[in-house]
Amino acid sequence: MRDAQERLALPTATSIWQRPIPVAAIILLALAIHGPLLVMELPATTSYDANLHIFFASHYAHHWFNPWNEKWFGGFSQTTYPPLTHQWIALLSNVVGLTEAFMLVQLAAVVLLAVAAYRFAQLWVDDRAASYAGVLAVFAGSIAFLVYSAGQLPTTMSAALFFLSLPYLYWWCRTASWRSLLKGIALSLAAASAHHVTLIFGSVLFALPVLGLAWYDARKSDQSGVSVIGRAVVFAAIAGVGVGVVLLPYWIAIIRHPIEQLPIPHASRSNLLMSWLYGMNYFIVPYGALLLALPFVVIKGASNPRLRILLLAFWVTFLLALGGTTPVPRWIFGRAFEILTYERFTLWATVLALPIVGLLVERAIDRSPRWGAIGFSTAAVASLALALGWLTWSPFRTTSSLNVDSVISFLNRDGHDQYRYLTLGFGNALSKVGTYANANSIDGEYNSARLLPEMTRYGAAQLTSAKYFGTAGMDSLRAMLQHANHYGLKFIFVHDPFYEPLLVFGGWRQVESYESGEITVWSKDDAVPAHAIPSDTIPAPWEGLMWGILPIGSSILAILFVLFLVEPPSILEGIAIPAETPESVYVNEVHL
Amino acid sequence: MKWGLALFLTIATLVLVAIAWFQSGGMKQHAMFSATTPEAAVQALMSDIQSHNYQRAFASLDPASDTDLPSFIRDVAGSDGSLRTYASLQSADVSPLHANQDEAVVRVRMNWSSAVGSLDDVRDLRVRREGSVWRVVWPKPAFPAVPPQVVSVNYLRWEVIGRNTSQAWGSQDVDSPKVRITSMNAISRPGRVVILGEVENEDTIPAYLNVNATLLKADGSPIEEEGSFDMISHVLLPKQVSPYRIDFPGIRMEDVKSVRMDARALLVPASADPVIAITDQAVSKDGLNRNVLKGDLINQSGRPVNIAQVLAAYYDDSGKVIWVSDGYVDQALMPQVPVPFAVDIPNDIAQRLKNYRVIVNHYSRTSS
Amino acid sequence: MMRVTTMFLIMTRTRSGSFYGRARLLAVAALCFCFLPIFASAADLHPPATVEAGQAFSIPVQGSGEATFYLVGPDHIVKRTVKLGGDLEIQSGEVSSAGRYQAILCDSSCTFASFQVNAAQPAHLSFFLHPSRVPVSTPNSIDATAFVFDRYFNLVLTPAVVDFRITPASGAGFSQRVPTHHGVAWMRTSSTAHEGRVQVTAVVGSVEEARVVQQVAAEACRLNVRAVPSGKMIALETDPVRDCSGNALPDGTVVSFTTIDSAGKSTVDTPIKKGIARTEISVHGRAHVSVACGVIEGNEIAVNGRL
């Protein structure tokens, strides 16, 4: 099929160390490593955002075609966040329950990510090195960090889908195969439906290098570079229109209400050199042993003209992932620098580096099969172990494991759901309360949807964690409590006595106590029942219909295309990926 | 090409990291911790306090400082569940007052983020030169010692037994306490309308009170509704009077035709303890030449009060309430120990005020 | 016999037949009632014009064979098959609710008659006494309202006399007899001059219902402060704090002491304990001391710090 394969075709008697690892083995490995962790529902108790995504999914489970969610912020539109992963969770929740459905979708994302790393690496290196890249992806600290610490399911799913679409972009540019075009477009749309930010950045950081590679390979194979560019334009145009249509309600929401709130601090934007904890959290833990391979990545990437494009893409992504440690993100994004978070760039940088790291593994195993395998296996396992251990050792532990059953039970009885509520000191457990309580909260975990002035004017995120945002957070909380009657805010659940003085002086009374006093309930007796807050962000019914059909439809289409649109071997046989052409100096060095 | 690109990427990365380090204040931080100027020494000290690195902060002090580590920590981080223990240093503005070759006085304006809002603390610190390094001389904090004793407390406490919900219609319940707004005054302040006055619990049982005001247009439609929030004493014992203030930011007095007041009282369990005396009250100027009402709070009961809030009502010569201001005290009120307080008074109010009245709200951690 | 009440219809689904079955029954009853004038050719029904709630009675019916009898009351419907040519017995439980009833008898055709069920003798009182606390010597400050019900909790609309008996903690009691209007009797009275518990009892026949109102001291009167030396401090102490009728203000009532001396102003809000309010305060030089309780101001005295 590819001359790279031909070049690497091994005699039947070749050692097991010198054969590519089958993709089925990579999938099984991903299932074996991440399956048990997800069956234990680790992200639900250790991650920041898993419960947030479960909350979004629970809304779709009850109101598939109505993205207006009144449970947070006095009402917000879920069209401000691409719905694909949430909708899959909602679908599966009918069979296995919400949390379990989340874990299933997350497992699918992790498996797809390993396969995507393998498929993406196949574009740049031989099958054997690519298969090592796939295996290393299973153990990558950045993936474990995003899954178990950040809980960013949409990012991981979107990255997997987008990296899976890139080989099809390559083949479409090289062969003009309409099957590749359809599969690439469908996967891109599904990726956008999972997480739009990944698609936007991926277009530049992943797609452009692949396009450059296609152009480079075409020129080497005496193909027309112009036709490659032309096909890429067609791909981009169709994908652009497709994303525009599939996510139309999102674009409408974002154009009508661009994010104008004061920036909310995020540790990933800080200079990691100024705080060793941040450096550990956002650099050492996600990259793990990959950091040891960086010199090889740079030298090897620079030595090979094909890999140079990949190296440059990796370098830019690596710099962006450093957040405020370099001025590059601020130069590129301007004001948007303060809106973005940068841990996801670490994942992308990892996947971009893995093809070259795969070459390193290949070389090491060639030199010393046993020690090479042991060394890299140890490094890979250590990276994963560090990321998982950091869940316990990190001072940034979440409160997701807090038992909120008593809070939910209180809110769901005696008409308490006529009023809005607030939690203080609940951290990420806020989403758990939101998912299962009938009552509505004035707070919420999804910062981009906040439109109430008490929240947008102060530069703090969730009210439940107000104290961590210093004066801004406490001023925001104060402003909200002052307008409690306006929002029908009657009940406040406190899991941190820090907030009690403000409640006492502000006119709240403690009325209940749960979990041996760990959670107290405070009430404002003159609060009037909550009424709907008028908003011009409520999506039109047709938007709800589109939102309920197109994003999930794009993913189903992608599955069908990938399963049933098989490339005829005759098309691919004529196209060759040029062999690695190392510079002579490098060869000399290697062989000296 | 291989080495060229590899070198370029490596050097470019290092240069970019260095640029960001400078931009993030790395150099400044380095200079600050070198303490080569009096301001840098105070900044470094504040930075350590901000990051709760008290040991390093204490180590950086001048040896002439007549304090020890526990006293220093108690001074900056608070104790006894005081408001300072609920606060963290948010920012510190440093300005030199005067300096010579070996000694300087630096004014530091600390802004603390606390559980009830932001607090300002202004201190003038003496800084001494020691070789090439300047060190802060931290004044010895004076912590009044409370002698070990047993204080018997037998103040009244009210408990409430409410009506059983299973009882039939018409069975008797206890009425809510009767409260009365004894005065109300609407004034215009820059960028806002303020409603202020006093409210009295006329009943013989304690009242838990919230006062709300609705501004009305000429046609009777509401403009805005706001509550007194923490500018009132929510728990009023029998015959107790509390000032209240309700702010309406962004509203102009010309738009307001009338005000609808709503005082809702609730029967709650309460205690007459603690009694807090407010002594030596006087209007004067503070170090920043602002008008303040100063005085001391003395907890006359046996139980410590963790956080106290001073509420002051100011009257003109006709006895009308012309302003209400408040201030939180960042020290805990230990029994019989005077704790100073100061409450800001706007300049125009200070010129017109004839009389004032102060009450104290309190929060004790063990109280319900 | 099958008795179906509307409440029963809503609350359960199982007793006899499905929910839809009962709905059909109701619909048939309603149809019968609506179309009675058309079919009114069966044997006539002659129930009494008025019946007391809960009183069983019979309605004679002529003819032979079987017919279906419906009794449509204000809150329930009864349906049963009856034999013609005898007396149709109406059980006491079937007419326990006061109001207008329709009796319907259907064989080949239907006939109907209506009758009134009135409340029985008073058996229950719902008694509201407001407020639960009242200052002494306040005119028209106590409201008493009594609702008279029979033993089935039908409001007794026939006039009855409610005797409101007021028994103060001290002094002679008195009573006021008030006739009911549409089942309700009410009165208003003034609080007496002495604090304490006042019991108000509403009585109708043998039915009694008692409530209590607490008469409390009114505003403080002749509030007086005096100063006595107490070590390095000065103790400020009120005389026993009483209202103008001589009732002691309850403990816990806040009294405000204000001292103005050379150091400034000092205030202490202290609750009354055992009838008097007391505090200790340090005074610098000559000082003016004043006292207030709520909006009532007391005397002013001058003291010297060297007292």
Q: What is the pLDDT of residues A307-328, one digit of tens each?
A: 999 999 999 999 999 988 899 9
- Nearest alpha carbon to residue A70 among A534, A425, A525: A534
Query: In Å, what is the CA distance from B240 to each residue of B102, B197, B307?
Result: 56, 14, 20
Output the pLDDT for position A414.
87
Binding-face residues of B in 214-243 toward A, CB within 8 A? 225-230, 232, 234
Domain boundaries, position A45 = 20-396+543-573
In this prediction, the residues of chain C whose per-residue pLDDT falls under 70 are: 1-43, 305-307
- Is the alpha carbon torsion for A456, A460, A465, A470 positive or negative? negative
The 3-state DSSP class for residue A462 equals coil
Contact between C217 and B204 using a beta-carbon 8 Å cutoff: yes
Q: What is the pLDDT of residue B145?
A: 75
List chains adjacent to chain B, taking adjacency as at least 3 C-beta pairs closer than 8 Å: A, C
pLDDT of A241: 95
Above 60 in pLDDT, residue A298?
A: yes
CB-CB contact of A111 with A154 (8 Å): no
Say which of B204, B281, B357 has its CB closest to residue C216. Answer: B204
Smallest CA–CA distance from A512 into chain B, residue: B368
CA distance B275 to chain C (A): 6
Q: How far is B225 from chain C (nearest CA, A)?
A: 28
Q: Check B368 against A298: CB less than 8 A apart.
A: no
Provide the CB-side half-sphere exposure for B242 (13 A, CA): 28
Give yes or no for residue A569 having a pLDDT over 80.
no
Residues C167, C173: contact at Cβ < 8 Å?
A: yes
> Using the beta-carbon criterion (under 8 Å), do B278 and C266 form an inter-chain contact?
yes
The answer to whether residue B53 neighbours chain A at the CB level (below 8 Å) is no
Task: Mark the ranges of chain B whose per-residue pLDDT is less than 50.
Answer: 367-368
Last residue of a domain, one of A493, A523, A553: A523
Q: Do B116 and A298 touch (CB under 8 A)?
A: no
Smallest CA–CA distance from B183 into chain C, residue: C295
Identify from B24, B232, B266 which residue to disrupt to test chain A contact, counting A C-beta atoms within 10 A and taking the largest count.
Answer: B24
Alpha carbons A96 and A364: distance in angstroms, whole number: 44
Chain B, residues 16-45, CB within 8 A of chain A, namely 16-17, 19-21, 23-24, 26, 29
* Cα nearest neighbour of B276 on chain C: C268
Among A523, A556, A581, which residue terminates a domain? Answer: A523
CA pair distance A263, A261, nearest whole angstrom: 6
- Residue C144: the pLDDT is 92
Contacts of A230 (CB under 8 A, 6+ apart): none
C-alpha of A441 from chain center: 26
Mutate to test the interface with C, among B171, B174, B239 (most CBs of C within 10 A): B239
Q: Does the distance separating the beta carbons of B115 and A467 come in below 8 Å? A: yes
Please indicate, yes or no, whether residues A65 and A96 belong to a single structural domain of this protein.
yes
The answer to whether the Cβ–Cβ distance between B172 and C220 falls below 8 Å is: no
pLDDT at site C17 = 40
Distance from CA of B250 to the nearest CA of A (A): 13
> What residues have CB less than 8 Å from C194, skipping those under 6 apart?
C136, C168, C169, C170, C171, C215, C245, C247
User: How many C-alpha atoms does B200 have within 13 Å on its Cβ side?
Assistant: 17
Q: Taking CB atoms and an 8 Å cutoff, what residues of chain C touch B174?
A: 132
DSSP, collapsed to helix, strand or coil, labels residue C233 as strand
A38 shares its domain with A114: yes
Number of Cβ pairs closer than 8 Å across A and B?
A: 133
pLDDT at residue C14 in the model: 34
Return the residue in C238, C269, C274 with the most chain B beta carbons within 10 A, the one to mutate for interface testing: C269
Q: What is residue A4's predicted lDDT score, i.e. its pLDDT?
A: 42
Spell out which residues of chain B touch residue C265, defining contact as CB-CB under 8 Å. Answer: 280-282, 295, 356
- Residue A586 domain-assigned? no
**Cβ pair A524:B368 closer than 8 A:** no
- Inter-chain contact A498–B86, Cβ cutoff 8 Å? yes
Residues of B in contact with A471 (CB under 8 A): 90, 111, 113, 118
Tell me, what's the pLDDT at A107? 96
Q: What does the alpha-carbon distance between residue B159 and residue A313 come to, in Å, rounded to a whole number? A: 71
A481 touches B: beta carbon within 8 Å: yes
**Residues of A with Cβ-Cβ distance to B4 under 8 angstroms:** 302
Interface contact A470, partner B, CB < 8 A: yes
Give a yes or no: residue A536 inside a domain: no
How many CA atoms lie less than 13 Å away from C176 in the CB half-sphere? 15
Q: Residue B86: list chain A partners with CB under 8 A.
A: 498, 501
Q: Cβ contacts (< 8 Å) between A481 and chain B: which residues?
A: 229
Q: Is B239 on the interface with C (CB under 8 A)?
A: yes
> Which range among A269-283, A364-378, A540-554, B76-90 has the greatest average pLDDT?
A540-554
* Chain B: closest CA distance from residue A498 (Å): 6
- Domain locations in chain C as residue ranges: 2-118, 122-216, 220-304
Strand partners, B215: B224, B259
In the numeric block, which tokens belong to residue C25? 């029954």
Q: What residues of chain C lie within 8 A of the CB of B205, using their CB?
A: 133
Q: Does a structural domain hold residue A579?
A: no
Chain B contact for C70 (CB, 8 A cutoff)? no
Which residue of chain B is at minimal alpha-carbon distance from C195?
A: B204
Which range, of A172-181, A483-492, A563-572, C291-300, averages the lowest pLDDT?
A563-572
**CA distance linking residue B313 with residue B322, whole number of Å:** 8
pLDDT reported for residue A3:
43
Among C253, C272, C279, C280, the strongest candidate for a mutation testing the B interface, having the largest count of B CBs within 10 A, is C253
Same domain, residue pair A148 and A26: yes
Of the candidates A471, A485, A524, the beta carbon closest to that of B225 is on A485
Q: Are residues A290 and A425 in the same domain?
A: no
Class level of CATH domain C2-118: mainly beta
B72 touching A (Cβ < 8 Å): no
CB contact under 8 A, B295 and C293: no
Reply yes or no on domain C220-304 having CATH 2.60.40.10.
Answer: yes
The distance of B52 to chain C (nearest Cα, Å) reads: 38
Fold for domain C122-216?
A: Immunoglobulin-like (2.60.40)
Q: What pLDDT sits at residue A103? A: 96
Chain B CA closest to residue A323: B20
The whole-number average pLDDT for the span A189-200 is 90
Residues A367 and A264 in one domain: yes
- Amino acid C234 reads I
Question: Which domains does chain B show, CATH number per domain?
Answer: 22-137 (3.10.450.100), 157-164+172-270 (2.60.40.10), 273-363 (2.60.40.10)
**C264 and chain B in contact, CB less than 8 A:** yes
Using the predicted structure, report yes or no on whether residue A34 has a pLDDT greater than 50.
yes
CB-based contact B300 C268, cutoff 8 Å: yes
Neighbours of chain C (3+ CB pairs under 8 A): B
Is the Cβ pair C252, B182 closer than 8 Å?
no
Residues of B in contact with A499 (CB under 8 A): 115
pTM of the model: 0.81
d(Cα B282, Cα A154) in Å, to the nearest integer?
62
Residue A1 lies in a domain: no
The answer, yes or no, to whether residue A399 has pLDDT greater than 80, is no
Asked if the Cβ–Cβ distance from C217 to B282 is below 8 Å, we say: no
CB contact under 8 A, A501 and B83: yes
Asked if the structure places residue A331 within a domain, the reply is yes
Give the distance from CA A577 to its chain's centroid: 31
Q: Do B279 and C266 touch (CB under 8 A)?
A: yes
Chain A nearest-CA distance from B85, in A, is 9
CA distance A71 to A168: 41
Element (H, E) at C179: strand C174-179
Is the Cβ pair B118, A326 closer than 8 Å?
no
Same domain, A158 and A300: yes
User: What total number of domains does chain A contain?
Assistant: 2
Q: Which of A270, A319, A586 sits opposite B2 (nearest CB)?
A: A586
pLDDT at B165: 62
